[in-house]
Amino acid sequence: MTDEVLYGCKVFYAPLSNCSKNMKETVKLGKYLFIICAVAGVTLAVTNYFTTKKIASQKLEVENAALKEVLPVAFCFEVKNNFPKNGYDEKNNIVGYVLKVIANGYSSEISALVGLDRDFEVTGVKILSHNETPGLGSKIAEKSFLSQFIGKFSEKILLKKDAQAGEIDGITSATISSRAITDAIRKNIDEFKKTVK
């Protein structure tokens, strides 16, 4: 190293051979990093290519099982990405409908499927997703709560504590979650009826 005084300050200069050596080392590490990233990127792309069809197929199977669960009389369902979906019998006659319902619960958004026959009577309800309080609001996904909706028309889909005409028992200590999904089901059925008739 050499040094000199410049404007009253001492300046140090490193020999060029050290700078060149450090630069070569940095470029070498950069090449290694590039190769690792390229291999990882190619691996992810190939994995995605071979698994995309399988994932889509499994997703479709799960969705069809859920559709069949809420509208069991249907032989097949309308093939489209959005809801409502029509359910058909073996002769391709409409036997009912499946609605997707979204409600704002106590601590999360609640997503559900609701099956209806041609008279708009509920044939089934399935909660697809929620993050309600475990042990309380999460009970909205249990069969004991959801089975109350089966066989009911929208006029009766109210919590008993909210209206005399109500026929749905809310979940103790989870009234907000119970009311949210109950009201959302009723309102969605009423809105859907306007589009069909």
pLDDT in tens, 124-183: 999 988 888 788 878 888 999 999 999 999 999 999 888 888 899 888 888 889 999 999
138 falls within a domain: yes
Query: Predicted confidence band at 4 (pLDDT cuts at 50, 70, 90)?
Result: low
Same domain, 35 and 62: yes
pLDDT at position 9 over 70? no
176 or 10: whose pLDDT is higher? Answer: 176
132 falls within a domain: yes
Element (H, E) at 109: strand 109-117
Same domain, 112 and 186: yes
Same domain, 90 and 181: yes
Write the DSSP assignment of 18-79 as a string of letters.
HHHHHHHHHHHHHHHHHHHHHHHHHHHHHHHHHHHHHHHHHHHHHHHHHHHHHSTT-SEE--
Task: Return the pLDDT at 130.
Answer: 86
Q: How far apart are CA 48 and CA 25, in angstroms?
A: 35
- What is the domain count for the chain? 2
Query: Predicted confidence band at 18 (pLDDT cuts at 50, 70, 90)?
Result: low
Task: Return the pLDDT at 148.
Answer: 94
Beta bridge partner(s), residue 126? 113
pLDDT at position 3 over 60? no
Same domain, 183 and 119: yes
DSSP conformational letter for 118: T
- Record the pTM: 0.69
Same domain, 137 and 188: yes
Max mean pLDDT range (12-21, 61-70, 182-191):
182-191
Same domain, 103 and 23: no
Q: How far is CA 168 from CA 7, 97, 112, 126, in A?
A: 88, 22, 17, 16
Q: What is the mean pLDDT of the chain?
A: 86
Max mean pLDDT range (6-20, 88-102, 126-140):
88-102
**Mean pLDDT for the stretch of residues 88-101:** 93
Q: How far apart are CA 147 and CA 176, in angstroms?
A: 19
Of 182, 104, 102, give the one whose Cα is nearest residue 148. 182
Rg (CA), the chain: 31
**Domain span holding position 162:** 76-196
4 falls within a domain: no
Query: Predicted confidence band at 115 (pLDDT cuts at 50, 70, 90)?
Result: very high
Same domain, 111 and 177: yes
